[in-house]
Amino acid sequence: MTSTITDAADLVPHEPGAPTTGNGGARTSTVSVIGQQARSWTTTAAISAVAIAVSVPVLVIVWSIVEPSTEVWEELWATRLPGMIRDTATLLATVLAGTLVLGTSLAWLVTAYQFPGRRVLGWLLVTPLAIPGYVLGFVWLDTLQEPLGARSVRSIWLCALVLTITLYPYVYLFARAAFREQSQRSIDVARSLGCSRTQAFWRVALPMARPSLAGGAALVGMEVLTDVGTVRLFNVSTIADGVLRVWFGTGNRNAAAELSVLLIGVAIVLIAMERLARGRARFTQSGSRTGLHVERLRGGRAIIASTIGWGVFTIAVALPVYRLITWAIEARRTDQTATVAGDLGFHLMSSLRVAAVATLTCLALGLLLVAGLNRRRRSGALLARMATLGYTVPGPVVAIGVLVTLAAIDRLGWLPDGWLLIGSFIGLIYALVVRFLAVAYQGIESSVGKVSPSVVASARTLGAGRFRVATRVELPLAGAGIIAAAVLVAIDTLKELPITLILRPFGTETLPIWVWQATSESLWVQAAVPSLAIVAVGMVLVAALLWALEHGAETVS
Rule CB under 8 A: which of 166-225 touch other proteins? Answer: none
Distance from C-alpha of 223 to C-alpha of 211, rounded to nearest angstrom: 19
Nearer to other proteins, 13 or 413 (CB): 413
- Amino acid code (one letter) for 445: E
**CA distance to 382, 391, 398, per residue, from 85 (Å):** 28, 20, 21
Distance from C-alpha of 80 to C-alpha of 124, rounded to nearest angstrom: 41
Residues 453-482 that bind other proteins (CB under 8 A): 465-467, 470-471, 475
- Candidates 200, 203, 127; CA nearest to 166 is 127
Nearer to other proteins, 225 or 244 (CB): 244
426 binds other proteins (CB under 8 A): yes
417 binds other proteins (CB under 8 A): yes
**One-letter-per-residue 3-state SS of 165-209:** HHHHHHHHHHHHHHHHHCCHHHHHHHHHCCCCHHHHHHHHHHHHH
226 binds other proteins (CB under 8 A): no
b/e map 342-359, b = 16+ CB within 10 Å:
eeeeebbebbeebbebbb
* CA 79 from centre of chain: 33
- Candidates 179, 180, 163; CA nearest to 219 is 163
Q: Tell which one of 49, 329, 364, 540 touches other proteins (CB under 8 A).
A: 364
Residues 229-288 that bind other proteins (CB under 8 A): 232-233, 235, 237, 241, 244-245, 247-253
401 binds other proteins (CB under 8 A): no
17 binds other proteins (CB under 8 A): no
303 binds other proteins (CB under 8 A): no
346 binds other proteins (CB under 8 A): yes
Residues 493-532 that bind other proteins (CB under 8 A): 501-509, 513, 517, 520-523
Q: What is the closest distance, in whole angstroms, from the C-beta atom of residue 150 to other proteins in the complex?
A: 4
333 binds other proteins (CB under 8 A): no
Q: Tell which one of 160, 171, 389, 400 touches other proteins (CB under 8 A).
A: 400
Q: Tell which one of 268, 356, 381, 540 touches other proteins (CB under 8 A).
A: 356
Question: How many positions of this chain bind other proteins (CB under 8 A)?
Answer: 96
Map residue 113 onto helix, strand or coil.
strand
Residues 136-165 that bind other proteins (CB under 8 A): 145-146, 149-151, 154
Per-residue interface string for the shown chain with other proteins, residues 29-58, x marking contact by CB under 8 A: ----xxxxx-xx--x---------------
Beta carbons within 10 angstroms of residue 423's beta carbon: 16
Nearer to other proteins, 2 or 508 (CB): 508
Beta carbons within 10 angstroms of residue 217's beta carbon: 25
- Give 235-297 as a DSSP string: T---HHHHHHHHHHHH--HHHHHHHHHHHHHHHHHHHHHHHHHHTT----B-S----PPPEEP
Kindly indicate which of the ranges 93-101, 321-329, 374-382, 406-414 contains the residues binding other proteins, using the contact rule CB under 8 A: 406-414
